Chains A and B, each alone.
Chain A
Amino acid sequence: MVISKKPLQFIIAALVACLPLLSIANPTVDTVKVATEAAHNVEAKEHGREAETANLTEEQKADLERKAHIKHHLMDSHDFTLFTYGKEGEKHFGFPLPVILLDNGVHVFSSSKFEHGGGVAESNGNYYKINHHNGLVYRTDAEGNFTEDAKGHVTNVKPLDLSITKSILMILIVAAMMFLLFSGLGKSYKKNGSIATGAGRFFEPIVLYIRDDIAIPNIGEKHYKKYMSFLLTIFFFIWFLNMFGLTPLGVNITGNLAITASLALITYLITTFTAKKDYWGHIFWMPGVPVPMKFILAPIELLGTIIKPFSLMIRLYANMVAGHIVLMSLIALMYTFNSPIGSPLSFFLAFVLSLLEILVALLQAYIFTMLAALYFGAAVEEHHHDEHHEAAHH
Chain B
Amino acid sequence: MEIPKIIGAGLVVIGAGIGIGRIGGSAMDAIARQPEATGKIQTAMLIAAALIEGIGFAALFAVN
Contacts and interface: CB of A to CB of B under 8 A. Distances in A.
A213 B40 CA distance: 9
B57 A370 contact: no
Assign chain B's interface to a size class.
10 to 19
Interface stretch (B3-11, B20-28, B44-52): B44-52
A314 B53 CA distance: 10
A72 B58 CA distance: 23
Given A213-B39, A318-B60, A318-B61, A311 B54 contact: yes
B43 interface: yes
Majority DSSP secondary structure for residues of A touching B: helix
B39 to A, nearest CB: 7
Interface residues of A, number: 13
A366 B54 contact: no
A311 B58 contact: yes
Contact of A311 (B43, B46, B51): B51
A378 interface: no
Contacts of A175: none
Given A311-B51, A315-B50, A315-B53, A370 B43 contact: yes
A164 interface: no
Contact of A314 (B39, B47, B58): B58
A371 interface: yes
23 contacts: A213-B39, A213-B43, A311-B51, A311-B54, A311-B55, A314-B54, A314-B57, A315-B50, A315-B53, A315-B54, A315-B57, A318-B57, A318-B60, A318-B61, A319-B57, A363-B46, A366-B46, A367-B47, A367-B50, A370-B43, A370-B46, A370-B50, A371-B47
Given A314-B57, A315-B54, A367-B46, 11 more contacts: A213-B39, A213-B43, A311-B55, A314-B58, A315-B57, A318-B60, A319-B57, A366-B46, A370-B46, A370-B50, A371-B47
